[in-house]
Amino acid sequence: MSVNTTKLGCAIFQDAQIMPFSQGRYAAYTRENTLIRECLCIRDFGLAFKPAERVPVEIRLPKTMIFGGFLFKHFGHFLLESLARLWFAKDHPDIPLVWLGRDGLWLDFQTEILQMLGINNATRFIDHPVCIHKLLVPEPGYLSQSFFASSHADFLAVQDPVPTLPGKRIYLSRRHFGGESCLTNEAELERLLVQNGFHIYYPEKHSVQEQLTYLSSAEKILSLEGSALHSLILLRQLKAQILLIPRPKTELNHNFLTIAQRKGFCQSILPSEGLYQNILPVHQSHVQWKGELNLPLVLERVSQPDWSPYAFYGSVFSARYS
């Protein structure tokens, strides 16, 4: 499977056997019992899920179907990985989609995004081993952290931005999102930002279209590194300047760099030196570290009128952060 070209293809497999997701594994096999690597969920570090062993098929589907992939419940993974093959489904609305995952339940934001993209294909969730007469496996237009095809970016860009409101600055908060935050003083950060003219926005309280409307009206968007920003791939363009707050002691997720480069976002990352204090490890959580933001330093940096990479890093800065 090529990832060096924006011209995406689609592989075809006759009598493909799909093994449902179970205990962190799934797989698809040819009728000769060879693993179909094109169906695997690949990320920059390797496989997201190990291949499941082949077991006897219980159901045969005598039709042509499109392989949708793994149906992620996580907002960011759904946007980047579950939608990665749907560019093909958009052009073939009469061919059903097949999905794998932990369950076949659709969340509201997933249904809304599919409607925005114009995906109306019938769907089938695979929860038992099945054999599909003809399985179409589109090449993913997005590979986690490393590749974003221009044609796939065009497919996802379905909403026009609203006019920019001069001076509108937004802080995209994770404080009410649920789960353990990596910021121990986010409430105090919000209070100080409001005093300095920022609007505090909690995206999980709004529909996806409402989020896009609100965010696209901003002149500047400040956000902790998080998947809420990934919704911006659904915009045709964005004039706002984005400033990311990296998580403590954690390398920046390169999805933000890959997306910004493909979409042409003006995005900068706050330099990490002196940004955190009192950093502690977090156990039994998706957050590895939590820390206290150096609020005077953050306020000093966000008071800059220009948030472009040039303003933060000077005339010479790494292309990976632009």
What value does the mean pLDDT of the chain take?
92
- 8-state DSSP, 35: B
Question: Among 3.30.70, 3.40.50, 1.10.3470, 3.40.1000, what is the CATH number of 169-312?
Answer: 3.40.50
pLDDT in tens, 228-266: 999 999 999 999 999 999 999 888 899 999 999 999 999
CA distance 44 to 47: 8
User: What pTM did the predictor assign?
Assistant: 0.92
CA distance 18 to 31: 11
Q: 159 pLDDT exceeds 70?
A: yes
Q: What is the pLDDT of residue 322?
A: 45
Mean pLDDT of 206-214: 97
Q: What proportion of the chain, given as a percentage, has pLDDT over 70?
A: 94
User: Which tops the pLDDT comparison, 20 or 249?
Assistant: 20
Mean pLDDT of 46-60: 93
Split at pLDDT 50, 70, 90, the class of 39 is very high
User: Which tops the pLDDT comparison, 169 or 271?
Assistant: 169
The pair of three-digit structure tokens given for residue 72, joined into one six-digit string: 């992620």
Split at pLDDT 50, 70, 90, the class of 179 is low
Q: What is the pLDDT of residue 7?
A: 85
User: Which tops the pLDDT comparison, 320 or 68?
Assistant: 68
When mean pLDDT is compared across 47-61, 202-216, 283-297, the lowest value belongs to: 283-297
Split at pLDDT 50, 70, 90, the class of 314 is confident
pLDDT in tens, 58-86: 899 999 999 999 999 999 999 999 999 99
Mean pLDDT of 202-219: 96
Q: Give the residue from 47, 22, 44 showing the smallest Cα distance to 35.
A: 47
Three-state DSSP state, 88: helix
Mean pLDDT of 279-294: 84
Split at pLDDT 50, 70, 90, the class of 29 is very high
Contact 203, 212 (CB under 8 A): no
Q: 183 pLDDT exceeds 80?
A: yes
Q: 287 pLDDT exceeds 80?
A: no
pLDDT in tens, 115-152: 999 999 999 999 999 999 999 999 999 999 889 999 99
- N-term to C-term CA, the chain: 28
Domain positions in the chain: 10-156, 169-312
Phi, psi of 12 (to 5 degrees): -125, 135
Contact 292, 185 (CB under 8 A): yes
Q: 5 pLDDT exceeds 50?
A: no
Three-state DSSP state, 173: coil
